[in-house]
Amino acid sequence: MSDSDGYFGAEVAARYDDVHSPMFELTTVTATVDVLARLAGDSAVLELGIGTGRIALPLAERGVSVHGIELSQAMVDQLRAKPGGEAIPVTVGDFATTRVDAPPGGFGLAYLVFNTINNLTSQDDQVACFRTTAEHLAPGGRFVVEVGVPELRRLPYGETTVMWGEGPPVWSYDVYDTATQALSSNYVRIDDGHATFRSIPFRYVWPAELDLMARLAGLRLRSRWEDWDERPFTHESRRHVSVWEKPTEGHVERTTGIEPA
């Protein structure tokens, strides 16, 4: 694995699309693409962490012009090997800071799905991601993030670990550090008696903190749903799809609700 590929090196990239997860089911992908295509309208869109094109390829098939940013060349190689994958422009780099050539006026939509905001492991990097994305957007453009609500309610007092996948062949668990918002997802895989262990570091983040990051970047919340079917976000929701908007020129944001004298 090349170090620059991060946690998605050649071996992981080669197996990425074979994972048995609802995220790869046609109904999930179609619901995701339906929302993104509607929000995009006629505008060009930018996917942060485009990966192997799970969402970008079906979105491009709908006629949407998709650009991508991706850290892992190995993931881009997998994208390139798929029908239509060669046609999607991808800039290899860190989406917290990487600038791409936006179409005149900017992108109408940027999106960051599948918990990938959590791959940025510091608050500074997550804030930078919102700033960089906002700079890519046209006035009126939207930024969509899909991410889980931190599962701290599943932690008994004094515990740090939440089990979420029971094999065989893979046992998966998350470890939370509530002092730092550090989170790791850990995978023990046993094949023919041979065990391998993989651990990925994340930073979990609350919806309200994301709203503040968006405000620092000059964006404002437009919608928050529980899922791509746009069910309402409630205290029981385990994840959210949030949409922030870059105000159009001339728009004055009221932050206090108090009218000037």
By CB under 6 A, name the one of 114, 171, 173, 187 that touches ligand SAM.
114
Give the x-and-dash track for 222-261 against ligand SAM (CB under 6 A): ----------------------------------------
Is the distance from CB of 109 to CB of 142 less than 8 angstroms? yes
CA distances to 246, 250, 256, 257 from 260, in Å: 23, 18, 10, 9
Give the x-and-dash track for 143-182 against ligand SAM (CB under 6 A): ----------------------------------------
Task: Output 54 or 224, the one with its CB closest to ligand SAM.
Answer: 54
Is the distance from CB of 99 to CB of 67 less than 8 angstroms? no
Residues 31-50 that bind ligand SAM (CB under 6 A): 49-50
Q: At what angle do helices 123-136 and 207-216 cross, to 10 degrees?
A: 50
Q: What are 165's strand-pairing partners?
A: 172
- Sign of the alpha-carbon torsion through 111, 118, 30, 17: positive
* Edge-first strand listing for the sheet containing 66-70: 90-92, 66-70, 45-48, 107-112, 137-148, 239-245, 220-225
CA–CA dist 40, 137 (Å, integer) = 12
Task: Output 113 or 145, the one with its CB closest to ligand SAM.
Answer: 113
Give the x-and-dash track for 50-79 against ligand SAM (CB under 6 A): xx--xx-------------xxxx--x----
**Per CB under 6 A, 116 contacts ligand SAM:** yes
Place of tokens 């997550």: 126
Stretch of 36-44, 116-124, 208-216, 238-246 contacting ligand SAM, by CB under 6 A: 116-124
Residues engaged in binding ligand SAM (CB under 6 A) = 6, 8, 49-51, 54-55, 69-72, 75, 94-96, 113-114, 116, 119-120
